[in-house]
A and B are shown apart, each in its own frame.
Chain A
Amino acid sequence: MIRRLFLIGAALAFLVLFLFVPLAAIFAEAFRRGAGAYFASFRDPDALSAIRLTLLAAAIAVPLNLVFGVAAAWAIAKFDFAGKSLLTSLIDLPFAVSPVVSGLIYVLLFGAQSWLGPWLSAHHIKIIFAVPGIVLATLFVTFPFVARELIPLMQSQGRDEEIAAVSLGASGWQTFLRVTLPNVKWGLLYGVILCNARAMGEFGAVSVVSGHIRGETTTLPLHVEILYNEYNFVAAFAVASLLALLALVTLGLKSFVEWRMNP
Chain B
Amino acid sequence: MRKKEVLPGFGLSLGYTIFYLSLIVLLPLSAAFFKAGELTWPRFLAAVTSPRVLASFRLSFGAALGAALLNAVFGLLVAWVLVRYRFFGKRLVDALVDLPFALPTSVAGIALTAVYARNGWIGRLLEPHGIKVAFTPLGVMVALTFIGLPFVVRTVQPILEDLDADFERAAATLGASRWQTFVRVIFPEIAPALLTGFALAFARGLGEYGSVVFISGNMPMRTEIIPLLIITKLEQYDYRGATAIAVAMLAASLALLLLINTLQRWTAARSAA
Interface residues of A (CB under 8 A from B): 3-4, 7-8, 10-12, 14-15, 17-23, 25-26, 29, 68, 71-72, 74-76, 78-81, 87, 89-94, 96-101, 104-109, 111, 113-114, 136, 139-140, 143, 159, 162-163, 166-167, 171-172, 175-176, 194, 197, 200-204, 207-208, 220-222, 224-225, 228, 236-237, 240, 243-244, 246-248, 250-252, 254-255
Contacts and interface: CB of A to CB of B under 8 A. Distances in A.
Given A108-B239, A228-B214, A19 B149 contact: yes
A201 B105 contact: yes
A203 B209 contact: yes
B203 interface: yes
A170 B63 CA distance: 56
B110 A75 contact: no
B28 interface: yes
Contacts of B1: 80
B249 interface: yes
B106 A100 contact: no
Contacts of A25: 111, 114-115, 120-121
Contacts of A247: 99, 102-104, 107
A250 B13 CA distance: 30
B121 A159 contact: no
B95 A224 contact: no
Contacts of B214: 228
Interface in B5-23: 5-10, 12-14, 16-18, 20-21
Contact of A255 (B6, B32, B95, B110): B95
A101 B24 CA distance: 14
B25 A221 contact: no
- For the residues of B in contact with A, the DSSP-based class is helix
Contact of A100 (B98, B231, B239): B231
Contacts, number: 267
A79 B77 contact: no
B147 to A, nearest CB: 10
Nearest to B73: A14
B231 A207 contact: yes
Contacts of B5: 79
B165 interface: no
Nearest to A240: B107
B96 A7 contact: no
A83 B85 CA distance: 44
Given A107-B239, A108-B35, 9 more contacts: A17-B122, A75-B10, A98-B249, A99-B105, A100-B230, A106-B28, A203-B104, A203-B209, A237-B110
A22 B108 contact: yes
A252 B85 CA distance: 22
Nearest to A106: B28
Interface in B204-228: 206-210, 214, 226-228
Closest 6 CB pairs of A and B: A98-B207, A201-B104, A172-B8, A203-B210, A204-B209, A100-B227
